[in-house]
Structure 1
Amino acid sequence: MTSSNLFGNFELKALKPQNYEEFGYFLAGLIDADGHIRKNGSVVIAFHLKEKSVACYLKKVIGFGSIYKVKNRQAVTYECMNNAGLLKVANFIRNKLKHASKITQFNERLVKRLKCEKTAYTPSNLTKNHWLAGFLQGDGSFNITQHKRSNKLFLETRIAVKIAQKLKDLLTLIQTDFGGKHLVSAIEQIFFI
């Protein structure tokens, strides 16, 4: 797709992970944002209906899993219940998860089911892997706003990345590598960066 605007012509491309290591970080970010490991050890990741193609991409790369439409909602879930598929997921995300509760789910549920090696939090520079891409896919949004100032000739354009979380631990991690600031919604008790 080519776009033409004030800044010239450019080609828009979505860069997918290029290898299994990069895919593992992307998948870990998705699970940290909008996924969980059930008590039976199966892995579930939720998507807005418009993002169904991402669920299909996961299924294709992992080679296992099913995609279900969520009743009465504009959402789908990718669910992996097959042991061979779960072992692939475990190997992809081991030592790449950042969310403490997801690490606990992995170690208490997936390890119990598969008898596989545990995972641990491993610090990594988020500018060097695809974890943030997966996390933003799940819990992030991009906002573009334009304002016309009465004393200015041009529109003022602002582009912002917004991530909402109930706990600020992951936002602090992102802020360390990228900057930004925490904002707290008093109504919802949700942290933003």
Structure 2
Amino acid sequence: NKQTNTWNLSDASLNSKLELGSYLGGLFEGDGHIWIPNTSSKKKHNPRFCITFHIKDLPLAEKLLEIIEYGFIRKKTKENACVLTVSPVKGLKKIISLINGKLRTPKIHQLYSLIEWINKNHNLDIKKLTLNNEGLNQDSWLAGFIDADGSFNIRHTRLESGEKRRIGCSLKIEQRKVDPITNESNKEILTLIAEYFHTKLSLRQQSRTNREYFIISASSQRSLRRILDYLENHSLLSSKYLDYKDWAKGVNLILTNLHYTEDGIAQIDNLKNNMNRNRREFNWDHLERLEKECHGYQ
């Protein structure tokens, strides 16, 4: 089951916009954290800005590191993960300049702690910008957040005793109910995302940890149209981009009412069987867009 990565420029929704700062902000608020050293500690440590990726998204982590220029990637083989870690002050200042003013969740307080540390220890006066409350369709924040916490699914259930089969596509976004550091609820932003995708916010308890999670599940035709509209304009960058592209083909079959034709059913099965965990080949052409961003942030 070796992963095959390929790179050669193709369509990759290259006409869509990428705002690197808001994308990175969404990725951080989905799967990142900032560690601030204890002031009473004798040893001098820098803060650490970290984002955790699935190991299959190592090419994206490497590309982001190339742009930030300072930091390293730690592989956690047992957990199938890798962590992009930025600790040098030059790198931390770059992160702040990218995501300050772009955040939308209680994790903004981690950024504020980082700004306070930098200002105090390096005699700077970086302003703490407030939460971004522009419409979700205005930037790439939601693309970053979906890359962190979203999943694209195609469902095909054959019902017994000659009943009608069911075919559907859904986007699911899952995030902890409460921010563990500030104890503030994530309800406000997740309600906004649910409303934007024309669906409802629900809550579930994880039996293993007893933690509560907010869940957004969008599958109506109205929701599917809105998701396509957003993601064709604000591209994903992780390997979920590839799952999204396959999923979108399934969505188009549904929207054109071809999903229950013989050919449509065959296409749905083929798409479903080769995405998410079943994907073996990864084409990273879509990261070319980040290549262009590199030149803007060097």
Residue of structure 2 aligned with 1:48, choices 31, 47, 54:
54
**Structure 1 residue 180 displacement after superposition:** 1.3
Aligned to 1:13: 12
CA 1:34–1:142 in 2, change beyond 3 Å: closer, same or farther? Answer: same
Aligned to 2:197: 178
Identity percentage over the alignment? 31
Task: Letter of the 2:29 partner, please give it.
Answer: D
Gaps of 5+ in 1: 1-10
Instruction: Tell me the distance in 2 between the aligned counterparts of 1:130 and 1:157.
Output: 30
CA contact (8 A) 1:125 1:177 kept: no
CA 1:77–1:164 in 2, change beyond 3 Å: closer, same or farther? Answer: same
**Greater shift in the superposed pair: 73-82 or 173-182:** 173-182
Residue of structure 1 aligned with 2:128, choices 118, 128, 146:
118
CA 1:18–1:181 in 2, change beyond 3 Å: closer, same or farther? Answer: closer
CA contact (8 A) 1:66 1:78 kept: yes
Aligned to 1:159: 169
**Greater shift in the superposed pair: 31-40 or 113-122:** 113-122
What SS is found at the alignment partner of 1:72?
Answer: helix
**TM-score, length of structure 2 as denominator length:** 0.55
**Structure 1 residue 173 displacement after superposition:** 2.1
**Structure 1 residue 130 displacement after superposition:** 0.7
Instruction: Tell me the distance in 1 between the aligned counterparts of 2:16 and 2:90.
Output: 22
Residue of structure 2 aligned with 1:29, choices 22, 26, 31:
26
CA RMSD of aligned residues (A): 2.2
**TM-score, length of structure 1 as denominator length:** 0.82
**Structure 1 residue 119 displacement after superposition:** 2.6
**Greater shift in the superposed pair: 22-31 or 164-173:** 164-173
What SS is found at the alignment partner of 1:112?
Answer: helix
Between 1 and 2, higher relative CO (CA 8 Å, sep ≥ 6) is seen in 2
**Structure 1 residue 126 displacement after superposition:** 1.2
CA contact (8 A) 1:49 1:74 kept: yes
Structure (1 or 2) with the larger CA radius of gyration: 2
**Structure 1 residue 162 displacement after superposition:** 0.9
Aligned to 1:5: none
Cα distance per residue 1:37-84 (max 9 Å; x no partner) = 111332100011011112112112222221111252110000011111
Gaps of 5+ in 2: 1-9, 38-46, 178-186, 217-298
Instruction: Tell me the distance in 2 between the aligned counterparts of 1:104 and 1:130.
Output: 21
CA 1:110–1:50 in 2, change beyond 3 Å: closer, same or farther? Answer: same
**Structure 1 residue 113 displacement after superposition:** 2.0
Cα distance per residue 1:95-127 (max 9 Å; x no partner) = 111111x21111122332243221310201111
Q: May I ask how many residue pairs the two structures share in their alignment?
A: 178
CA 1:90–1:17 in 2, change beyond 3 Å: closer, same or farther? Answer: farther
Instruction: Tell me the distance in 2 between the aligned counterparts of 1:14 and 1:77.
Output: 27
Whether 1:58 and 2:64 are equivalent positions in the alignment is yes
**Structure 1 residue 89 displacement after superposition:** 0.7
**Greater shift in the superposed pair: 105-114 or 34-43:** 105-114
Aligned to 2:284: none
